[in-house]
Amino acid sequence: MKNKFLKIALVMSAIILTTACTEDDATGDATNAPSSPSLTVALDFEGEQSLVEAETTYGFTVSISEVQITNVRVHLSQTGGDATKGDDFDFPSTVTIAAGTTSISDVFTIHADELLEDTEEATIQITSGTEANLNSISGTSVTFSIMNVTKDDLAIGMTWAASSLVTDNYGEEVDANDLADLRLLITDVPYTGVVISENEEGTFETFAFLGTYPDGEYYVVADLDAAMDISSDLDITLKFDQVGKINGESHTFTKALSTDYACSSNYNILAKVTKVGYDYTIEKVEMNNIESQAISWGGVDTYDAYAPDGWDSKIATAVDCDGTVMYGLNAEWMYNIWGEVIETEYPVIYTVDADGVVTIEEQDVFITSYNGTLYPYTVSATGTMDDSGDETTMHLEYVLMQDGFDPGAYWFGEGEMDTPYYVADLVAK
């Protein structure tokens, strides 16, 4: 089953048949002076629509800035595409703003049929003749994404928008599809694998969940495939349709994703769909992966003779586009015992395998300062993570190295630590 896209580009101008007003030329004779009204078009709907093929209308209003003494006729015509007027869609050939008024409203009509068709397109233009007398024109474009589904299928449409206004260097609002490109995913429950991925670049996403798919539970997930280098939260809207059963059920998810992380790790489990036969139950979930995996860890991250019960942990872990990362390791001991100030801290990437084994490959961890001199440090570690109980715990045995010097081994040699490496015993808060 393929989506059917109807793209409608609107470029606004009009034929002004007769446009005049009467003025006195100071000689007692009246003269006619032409006016130059501006023409605008307003839509009763968002500029991009995803819908199930059905008898549907979308309204628009054409306006002029000044009342005219004769009718103003505006022409509409199909200028491209393979969709058929009268079969797939309809629109008026002309709309007329009556003399003495400033606007006229009409509709685009989308038709339903029984044919399973491939992608079809149509471009409609609102334009003028050579005798137009327009001062300015305000144009717009409209895209209809029309899904051709049977009564057993569930149509899913996903749109998004910046949570607050985002503008470019010229102060113009950035289009949502330019700001970010999102993927629409159907996954298993829990999310361990992708069942279906839908990503049409430059447009909002639509998908037909077929009635022939196996019964069960599925997640509807959005992740960020690409984004402009502009920090913005994104609001996401899902729309569900099933012929005769679900009519435009819509759910909006505020600040669901952020453009700060343009990668597949930045995903939000938006909803759960339960399929039983040809019946679908939709539940809102709303679980942001990056936010849900930001954890502060209590417990201790170093033991020594000065703190036999351990120095309090300042460790936090998170997920970003590089993987799972850790911050704050050894912070208390470095400051209170070693006496160095952490000037720069790097996120430490760590992994946890299926058996709960934690590994930190040697990597930069921070740059410290002491008496005006900077010292770079690396860290490496092994350990375990256990989430089988009421609390998630993590045990780490880690080594710091400063240009070949090992302060942990030195402290052990001085009799101030029980091991030649640092030990952390952490509890997720």
Asked whether residue 263 falls in the same domain as residue 168, the answer is yes
Same domain, 90 and 190: no
Q: Do 74 and 94 meet the contact criterion of CB atoms below 8 Å apart?
A: yes
The verdict on 348 and 373 lying in the same domain is: yes
What pLDDT sits at residue 206?
83
Last residue within a domain, chosen from 289, 305, 326: 289
CATH number of the domain enclosing 78:
2.60.40.2030
Here the CATH number for the domain that contains residue 284 is 2.60.60
**pLDDT means over runs of 10, the chain (429 residues):** 42 40 44 63 69 73 87 79 78 89 90 56 58 50 64 90 94 94 96 89 85 96 96 96 84 97 96 97 97 96 97 96 95 95 97 97 98 97 95 98 96 97 97
> Same domain, yes or no, for 128 and 181?
no
Residues 285 and 300 in one domain: no
Same domain, 23 and 142: yes
329 in the same domain as 284: no
Give strand pairing partners of 273.
218, 282
What is residue 13's predicted lDDT score, i.e. its pLDDT? 42
- Structural contact between residues 381 and 399, judged by C-beta atoms closer than 8 angstroms: yes
- Domain boundary among the residues 259, 289, 319 is at 289
Q: Does the predicted TM-score (pTM) go above 0.85?
A: no
CB 128 within 8 A of CB 10: no
Burial 23-53 (b: 16+ CB within 10 A, else e): eeeeeeeeeeeebebebbbeeeeeebbbbbb
> pLDDT value at position 49?
60
Pair 13, 135 in one domain: yes
Half-sphere exposure of 351 (CA within 13 A, CB side): 7
Q: Are 353 and 392 members of one domain?
A: yes
Domain ends where: 289, 308, 340? 289
Using only C-alpha atoms, what is the Rg of the chain? 32
How many folded domains does the chain comprise? 3
Residue 241 shares a structural domain with residue 333: no
| Residue 304, domain extent | 295-428
* Residue 204 and residue 87 share a domain: no
Looking at the structure, tell me whether residues 257 and 322 fall in a common domain.
no
